[in-house]
Amino acid sequence: MSTADSAPRAHLFGVSAALVTPFAADGSVDGAAVQAHVADLIARGIDGVTLFGTTGEGASLGATDRAAIFEAVLATGIAPARITVCICATDLESAVAKAGEAFERGITRLLLTPPFYFKGVSDDALFAWISGFVAQTASHSPEIILYHIPQVTMIPLSPALIRRLKDAFPTEIYGVKDSAGDWDNTVQLLPWDDLAIMIGDERLLARAAPLGGAGSISGMANLFPERMAGLVHRAEPDADLDALVEDVITHPVTPMVKALVGRVRGDHGWSRTRLPLEPAATEATDQLAQRCRAMLG
């Protein structure tokens, strides 16, 4: 049995693609492109998909957009248990309503972003806000993944707060998505085998898997689900993927990942973004796309 297989992983979440959102020329969600992309990822062995996250421009999607994406994804036949829905809201009413959209479709796994508008709030205040969310959704038996991405939200979820939330809500709090890219933070979480620890920075995955990492919600899984499986399931280092990620993050990440998906799929329409994001620079995209094609073989 390999080191990764023998690691004390109480949950094996696997690889969930942080789904990118394609837009039609009129700015609406391109449901046909969503459906085709998800079907391709399923055929290539992806463990699941995550909707409305950072890579999916979730903070810029309205109710009509989300409904179109739900319809397209579920039309592929993927089981609701393989879908995670990101909840991005700063008020509890909206957060609970977005969770309700998932519950109506049989989806219970939620990636919960902290309330991010007001900065410098205390752990006690965050605990109270998240506790309110749990109280209003608990009847649906959610599996809540706490989303730690302080470089975007400017609201960190400290290990102490995470531990406090898990102890208070042992059934509802399922795990953490650690997207900070800070190994010193990650290693504090990995020993907690009552939580599924998902790594958002692909460069840390091979290190995390043998230490209890449960998997990843990953933007690069839109491009390389097979290579991501090697990192998560077998703890196989991937120097080429690490190097590509290093270069991708020198650009606005979400537009670049979308543009690369479009180049690989032969559809430049994927380069369209929803304001306030702007499309990735064409020359840089073309250069990185050549490397992606070479890595795909």
d(CA 32, CA 36): 6
Q: Which phi and psi angles does 67 have, rounded to 5°?
A: -60, -40
Write out the two tokens for 26.
């009129």
d(CA 21, CA 55): 8
148 has which bridge partners? 178
For 239-285, write each residue's pLDDT tens digit: 999 999 999 999 999 999 999 999 999 998 899 999 999 999 999 99
Q: How many CB atoms lie within 10 A of CB 53?
A: 32
Of the candidates 98, 166, 174, 177, the residue annotated as catalytic is 177
Residue 5 has pLDDT above 60, yes or no: no
- Provide the pLDDT for residue 2: 35
Q: Per-residue pLDDT averaged across 139-159, rounded?
A: 97
Helix axes 282-296, 239-248, angle to 10 degrees: 170
- Provide the pLDDT for residue 268: 85
- Provide the pLDDT for residue 10: 57
Q: Is residue 265 part of a domain?
A: no
Residue 6 has pLDDT above 80, yes or no: no
Query: Could you tell me the pLDDT band of residue 297, with boundaries at 50, 70 and 90?
Result: confident
Residue 166 appears among annotated catalytic residues: no
Q: Is residue 47 part of a domain?
A: yes
Domain with 224 in it: what CATH number? 3.20.20.70
- The overall longest dimension of the chain from CA atoms, in Å, is 52
- Provide the pLDDT for residue 256: 98
Q: Is residue 177 part of a domain?
A: yes
For 160-171, write each residue's pLDDT tens digit: 999 999 999 999
Q: Is residue 266 part of a domain?
A: no
Q: Is residue 80 part of a domain?
A: yes
Residue 72 has pLDDT above 60, yes or no: yes
DSSP secondary structure of 43-69: HTT--EEEESSTTTTGGG--HHHHHHH
* Residue 176 DSSP code: E
Which residue ranges are tagged as binding site?
A: 55, 217
Residue 177 appears among annotated catalytic residues: yes
Query: Could you tell me the pLDDT band of residue 154, with boundaries at 50, 70 and 90?
Result: very high
Give the chain's domain count: 1
Of the candidates 147, 166, 174, 258, the residue annotated as catalytic is 147
* pTM exceeds 0.75: yes
Q: Which of 295, 228, 273, 262 has its CA nearest to residue 55?
A: 273
Q: Is residue 88 part of a domain?
A: yes
Q: How far is CA 43 from the centre of its chain?
A: 19
- Provide the pLDDT for residue 7: 43
Give the range of the structural domain holding residue 197, as residue numbers without chain letter: 13-235
Say which amino acid occupies 202. E
Residue 220, classed as helix, strand or coil, is: helix
Which residue ranges are tagged as binding site for pyruvate?
A: 55, 217
Q: Is the previous residue joined to 276 through a cis bond, with omega within 30 degrees of 0?
A: yes
Q: Is residue 95 part of a domain?
A: yes
Residue 129, classed as helix, strand or coil, is: helix
Q: Is residue 241 part of a domain?
A: no
Query: Could you tell me the pLDDT band of residue 3, with boundaries at 50, 70 and 90?
Result: very low
For 78-105, write each residue's pLDDT tens digit: 999 999 999 999 999 999 999 999 999 9
